[in-house]
Every structure is written in structure tokens, then in C-alpha cells.
Structure 1
Amino acid sequence: MSDNSVKTPVAPLRILSLDGFRSMAEKVDKHISASRKAKEEASPDNFSFTGYYKESYLVDASVPRFSSGEAKGIINETIHGTDLFILADISNHYLTYNLHGTENGMSPDDHFQDLKRLIDACNGKARRINVILPLLYEGRQDKRNALESLDCATALQELVQMGVKNVITFDAHDGRIQNAVPLEGFDNFYTSYQFLQALLHTEDGISIEKEDFMVISPDVGGMSRAVFYSNILGVDMGMFYKRRDYSVVNDGKNPIIAHEFLGGDVAGKSVFIVDDMIASGESVLEVAAELKAKKAEKIYISATFGLFTTGFDRFDEAFKEGIIDRVYTTNLIYTPKELIERTYYTNVDVSKYLSLIIDTINHDSSVDGIMNSGGLIRKHLAEYREKCKGTL
């Protein structure tokens, strides 16, 4: 863990949030404010400028729209000489705007344009601009096959050309996308510790020993994620291979013909399915059904981003039928109230982790300590296992 108490920040910290990420930004802001107040009170001589501690670091900004759908970014206070962090949730379709009298849900394209408008509004006044896109814009369009757009790389290059020095994201679909902007900062963080912490809290008493527990990757692309969990927990892992019909394209993707399981016996075990996102959820629920047919005892699904693009009915039915036991996603994107209220769902709070990331980068400290969560996980697992021994 990096020690920021003895380093001077690169510049005064300010946080600018787009409307779609406002509730999360407010949580992050409170964490940073509380942390810095404690540091300043404990070691007042370590800080070289006033304003290190503020009650709030949030910047007053907005992106008003005309009835034609056009918009402009406005920053209502000075950001001169600051280390500015701009936070955006490009998936929040619950926000709407008026277009010729019709209410429209905001698309990822709309959010990304608003992000660029606010960067443009900075007018070169900030000392450094950092952009936090937890769900990377066009992250699934990260490589080119034949004649098609390379949207994610183009977007990252656009941000850099506008003066952005650091891009921070979580669980990128393919971390190699950072090669699109090799001369600027790009950090890809993972939420493994927060997910395991949530699992052990909600399923208190669950056995995480090799004979009782197994980690599953729903596809080949997420295998490295499952390997990490498997190694740190000391349990077996399995994965599914998606056989697709590449002669057909439905909704921009090739339909899955079958899920082929590669792994050991799951009978009687609790299985932890780990993925980067839930879109429609069709694929992960088919995987869960396959595992239940193979006599898995409990099935837990975790995904950093819960989009639920076709609603929650399929998950409600799977829970009712006993196929799944719990679903975990983070608050790195907007989570609707109707999902939070479902008994099988747990929203994993990552606000404290994000506040630590911002605070560390603002101090120009290495993020290696907070990026590598292995030590924290091992400590938490040891404490959990010791507690479980005491209850036997």
C-alpha cells in the first residue's frame, strides 16, 4: 500500500463528475475528505499548501442541452492549476434528454460526447486532466476484424489529443488496448478483493476449501481472471468454451450454439462464476444451468459491470428455479433500485477503493501497491478460515 502522508500532491485535487456518475462521485468525495482531514490533523507540517483538506473536492459543472439535442459543457468555478479527475459512467441509460419533444435515454455515445465537452470547457486551465471510465467506452470493440471500426482505440487517442494525461478503467475487456496510447498513463484495475470480501460476508460460513469450492470462467476470454481467483484461493477452476455460429450475426454478435465445459467434477461444490460484465445475462445463465445439471450445490455469479440489458426477469426465474443463489455486481456503474431490492442480489461497493486510487495518483505515488490485491486477499482469507475453525 502506498504511503501518501509524506508526499506533496502534484497539484490541488478537484473531482468533476458527469451526471450519470454523481452518486458514486459523492461517496468517493466523502472518503477522500475524511482521509485527508485525518492526515492533516495527525501531521499538519507535512502539507505545503492550504486546501489539502476540503469538505468537498467536487466541481460544479453541467452539460445543458437545447431542444434540438445539441449541448455544451459548462464549468462554473475555477479549476486553474488543479489536478482534475473527471468521472463518467458511459452505460447510464437511465438519464434522459429532450429531443424535438421526445424523451431519449442517453447512449454511451451521448455520455462520451459530454465527457469531451467538459474536457473542452477546461480550456487548458487544469494542470493535469485524468479521466476515469470504469466501464471503458467501446471496450468490447477493442480489436479489428476485416473492415470495421476500431472504436475504443480511436476514443482513447481522442482523449489524449484533448490533453488527458491518465485514463483509469476497471476490468478492461482486453488490457492490451492501452497500446493505442503508449505514451500516456493507462491503468486497468480489478475488483477481486471486493468481490471475495462480499462473498464471504453474504455467505458467511461457506467452505472455500478445494473439496468444496470451485472457480468458473464462463468463456475463454475470462480465463486469466478465473486463474487468479483459483491460485489465490487454492482451489480448482473450470471454464466453458462457447461454440458459435460464425455464419450468422444477431445484434452485432455471432450466436452461441453450445457451451462446452472443460474442468473437473463440480458435484456437491459451491461454484463462483467470475466475469467482467453481464449484458443480457443469457450466456452466464446458460452456464449456470449447465453447472446445476452437473450437480453443483450452490452457484454464485460475479461481474464487475451489471448492464442487464434485457431486464431482470431471466435472473428472477433462475433464482426461483434454484439455478442461481446470488449475483454480485459493483457500483462502478449505475445500479437501479429495482435490482438492489432483489433478494438474490448484492451490490459491491467500490467507492473506497476508487477514492484510494484517486488519492494515490494525485500524490504522484505508484499504484502498484493498490493494484496488486493479493496480499490483502490472503490476509482476509486467513482471518476467515481462522474464524471458521473457531465455529466448528
Structure 2
Amino acid sequence: MRGELLICATRSMEDYAERVAYEMQTFPDFYGKGYNKQIRGELSTVTFADGEIEVELKTSIRGKDVFLFASAGRNPRNLSVEQNKLEMYHAIDALRRAQPGRITLFEPFCTSSRSDRTTRRNSVGFWVHYKTLVSLGVDHYITYQLHSDKSKTVVDPRVCAIDDVPGSPMLKEYITDNYIRKPEVLNGRVREEWFFCSVDAGGESVARKFARAFGTKLMIAHKQRNYDRTNAVESINILTDTPIEGKEVWIVDDMIDTGGSVYYLVKELKHRGVKTVNIAVVHPVFSDPATERLLELYDEGMLDRVVVTDTLGVSPEMQETIPFLEVVSSARLSAEIIMHMHEEQSLSPFFDDFDPRHYLSNLKLFL
């Protein structure tokens, strides 16, 4: 086991870190193993008149195993991406100067993960982010479901290893608990009536894993983008060898940004006679005009529900605005990951795919 466990957070992730700490303290063996009840460290951010900032550590961390929660994404304090990143980097610097045993950065959603390649004379956002973290002294980096495996090609495990934990199993478990519940439903209606659909060719692997897990048909959407404009879609083609009229479709992906792709895909699916359309994504980025697009689809009876995780802040106001939004908490999973890392246990269980059949069989034994 490493030094004493401590959880810190930048302002963007304070609420999330509190939930993770609470979940850890509910583990049956938490106190039996001698963990300190006070596992939260305190950071303070000061903004000066000229806009510069400093992050001050209010807790002694010498020799401790520190986990820093930080995010540049949407957050309860409405801090911008630039403000969040700057605070994240300052926080890491403050921690490193205090001589901890180890620093693990836990960033549930990496905002720069889509900037993972050079196609012209452009910078590569994830490369810049990772190199900055390494230079500041981060020992380990954890995130949920990066946009592409290509991102991990920049990683040098000798200086800072990365664990890109799949977020889709959380969605699969939620769907099983709330919309299947029984083995006979899984083996009957789900396998006969459900389709899992990708948003585009790049998301085929995600949709294929969902379809394989639930034993359903797979549908692939192929979108033609307008590269003269950012986030613009010209047309969508649906690839499937099975009639979809009257079926239930789950559109799955790693994230929704502006919602343009799913907006046109939902309309195309309903045009083809699909009975119901649901969306399940890990990261609810929801840049404008995503909310307006989703509300329009819902109001027109084209969309039933949107299931997301809380890797980005989902405020009560947002949930009130989008009443069909269902949020899956990732706090307990994050707590389990931290405990495994702190106790030097394998993280392999968190990379295993979710098996609905096995899950429902075990659930039935306890009912």
C-alpha cells in the first residue's frame, strides 16, 4: 500500500470529489483497514486583479498518495475551459511542491481528447495537455472513455501511465436495471425488437459492443459532413440488413457535443418508421445548440429519453430543462478505482465489459 490516501479537487470538481469520498466511506472494509475518516484535502484558488491565479494547498500531503479530481468541462461554477485548465495546472504544481508520495490526476472527461491528430498545420490538444501534465509532475492519469484510442499513442508510461477506463459499462448496467430487469425480457423482446445504432462509422465499435452484450441487431449510421463549417452534417445513411420499421433503437456514443449528428439521425430513423428512439452516451458535453435540438426532438415525439453519466456537471436546472435526461452516477465506480489503485490491486475488472445475462442471473439469485 502507498502512503496515506488523500483526495483533492479543483473548484470544477469539488462536488464530484465529495460524492466519491462519501462512497469510499460506505465501503464495508473502509474503517477496518485503518483509513482516516478525513480523506479530503483542501485547495484554495486566488484570482488577482490582473487575472493571474495561484492555487494554495491547505493540507499537509508530504508522502501521501494524492488523487486530484479536475476537469476543464462544464461545471457548477461555470468556469471556462481556459480557467479550468489553468487552475488544474496550478493545482498540480502546488501539490508537487508539497512533496507527496504520488500524484494521480483523475479527469473523468478530457476536453481535449478529440484533438488527437495533426491533419494540417495545427496543434494537437491532447498532446499539449499530456505533456503539460507530465512536465508538472503527474505520476498517473485516469479518465473515462477517451474519444479515440489514437490519443493514447502519445503516452510514455515510463513517466506517466494512463488508464482510460470504459464508461459504457455504466450505461449498460443502468439500461439493464431500468429497462430490462428480467432474463426473459432480455431473451425475448430485447433480442427481437431492439437495435443499437452508432452515430457514425467511427462509433461502430461502441455500438457493436452494446449489440454484442445485449444480443441485439446492429445498425451503422454513415454521416457526410460539411467540412466548410464546424460541427455541420449534410446527410446520413443507415446501414443495416434488417427491417427497422416498428423497432426500438438505442443510439450510443461516447459523447454528445452540439447534437447535430444525433439530431439528423433521430429524424432519419423516425422517417423510416422506427417505433422509439433513445440515446445513451457517456459524456454529456451539450454545447449550444444541443439542448435546443434535443428538446425539439422530444417535443415532436421523435425522442423518448437520453441517458448520460455525470462525468461533466449536470445541474438540477439542466435536468429540469431536459426532463427526459437520465443521469447515471459514476462516483462509486471512481471510488472503487481509487481504492484498487491505492491498495496496488489490478484495475482489470474495470476494463471488463458488462454482461447483462450474467448480471440478471446473479440478481435473480438474491431476489
Aligned to 1:91: 73
Aligned to 1:237: 218
Are the counterparts in 2 of residues 21 and 333 from structure 1 also a CA contact under 8 Å?
no
Find the aligned partners of 1:254 and 1:337 in 2 and give their Cα distance. 27
Cα-to-partner distance string for 1:293-340 (whole Å, 9 max, x where unaligned): 111111110111112212522222211211110001111110022222
Aligned equivalent of 1:190, options 156, 160, 166: 166
Find the aligned partners of 1:153 and 1:345 in 2 and give their Cα distance. 33
Given residue 252 of structure 2, which amino acid in structure 1 is its aligned partner? V
Are the counterparts in 2 of residues 272 and 300 from structure 1 also a CA contact under 8 Å?
yes
Aligned to 1:364: 344
| 1:31 shift after superposition | 1.1
Secondary structure of residue in 1 paired with 2:277? strand
Cα-to-partner distance string for 1:211-258 (whole Å, 9 max, x where unaligned): 211100001111111111111111111111111233x1x2xx363210
Are the counterparts in 1 of residues 57 and 94 from structure 2 also a CA contact under 8 Å?
yes
Alignment of 1:320-359 (within 5 A): 320-341=299-320, 342-359=322-339
Aligned to 1:127: 101
TM-score by length of 1: 0.85
* Residues 369/94 of structure 1: CA separation in 2 closer, same or farther (3 Å cut): closer
Q: Could you tell which deviates more after superposition, 183-192 or 347-356?
A: 183-192
| 1:92 shift after superposition | 2.1
Are the counterparts in 1 of residues 222 and 238 from structure 2 also a CA contact under 8 Å?
yes
Alignment of 1:153-192 (within 5 A): 153-183=127-157, 184-192=160-168
* Residues 200/232 of structure 1: CA separation in 2 closer, same or farther (3 Å cut): closer
Q: What is the root-mean-square deviation in Å for CA atoms of aligned residues? A: 2.1
Are the counterparts in 2 of residues 30 and 56 from structure 1 also a CA contact under 8 Å?
no
| 1:283 shift after superposition | 1.5
Are the counterparts in 1 of residues 168 and 282 from structure 2 also a CA contact under 8 Å?
no
Alignment of 1:139-154 (within 5 A): 139-154=113-128
| 1:87 shift after superposition | 0.6
TM-score by length of 2: 0.90
Given residue 301 of structure 1, which amino acid in structure 2 is its aligned partner? I
| 1:68 shift after superposition | 2.0
Between Structure 1 and Structure 2, how many residues are aligned?
355
Aligned to 2:208: 227
Aligned equivalent of 1:316, options 250, 270, 295: 295
Are the counterparts in 1 of residues 55 and 90 from structure 2 also a CA contact under 8 Å?
yes
Find the aligned partners of 2:144 and 2:276 in 1 and give their Cα distance. 27
Secondary structure of residue in 2 paired with 1:84? strand
Secondary structure of residue in 1 paired with 2:29? helix
Identity of aligned residues (%): 23
Corresponding position: 1:16 with 2:8 = yes
Are the counterparts in 2 of residues 137 and 155 from structure 1 also a CA contact under 8 Å?
no
Aligned equivalent of 1:259, options 233, 236, 249: 236
Aligned to 1:82: 64
Aligned to 1:99: none
Aligned to 1:25: 17
Aligned equivalent of 1:272, options 250, 253, 263: 250
Secondary structure of residue in 2 paired with 1:199? helix
Aligned equivalent of 1:34, options 18, 23, 26: 26
Are the counterparts in 2 of residues 33 and 55 from structure 1 also a CA contact under 8 Å?
yes
| 1:278 shift after superposition | 1.0
Aligned equivalent of 1:71, options 26, 47, 53: 53
Are the counterparts in 1 of residues 281 and 309 from structure 2 also a CA contact under 8 Å?
yes
Q: Could you tell which deviates more after superposition, 313-322 or 211-220?
A: 313-322
Find the aligned partners of 1:127 and 1:382 in 2 and give their Cα distance. 43
Given residue 261 of structure 2, which amino acid in structure 1 is its aligned partner? S
Secondary structure of residue in 2 paired with 1:139? coil
Given residue 245 of structure 1, which amino acid in structure 2 is its aligned partner? N
* Residues 320/245 of structure 1: CA separation in 2 closer, same or farther (3 Å cut): closer
Find the aligned partners of 2:226 and 2:20 in 1 and give their Cα distance. 44
* Residues 285/245 of structure 1: CA separation in 2 closer, same or farther (3 Å cut): closer
Corresponding position: 1:294 with 2:272 = yes
Find the aligned partners of 1:369 and 1:257 in 2 and give their Cα distance. 41
Find the aligned partners of 1:144 and 1:338 in 2 and give their Cα distance. 38
Structure 1 residues not aligned, in runs of 5+: 1-8, 97-105
Structure 2 residues not aligned, in runs of 5+: none
Find the aligned partners of 1:117 and 1:170 in 2 and give their Cα distance. 23
Secondary structure of residue in 2 paired with 1:62? strand
Aligned equivalent of 2:176, options 200, 204, 224: 200
Aligned to 1:101: none
Find the aligned partners of 2:83 and 2:350 in 1 and give their Cα distance. 32
| 1:180 shift after superposition | 1.1
| 1:188 shift after superposition | 0.8
Aligned to 1:211: 192
Corresponding position: 1:281 with 2:281 = no
Aligned equivalent of 1:138, options 88, 112, 115: 112
* Residues 93/278 of structure 1: CA separation in 2 closer, same or farther (3 Å cut): same
Given residue 10 of structure 2, which amino acid in structure 1 is its aligned partner? L
Are the counterparts in 2 of residues 210 and 236 from structure 1 also a CA contact under 8 Å?
yes
* Residues 124/56 of structure 1: CA separation in 2 closer, same or farther (3 Å cut): closer
Aligned to 2:89: 116
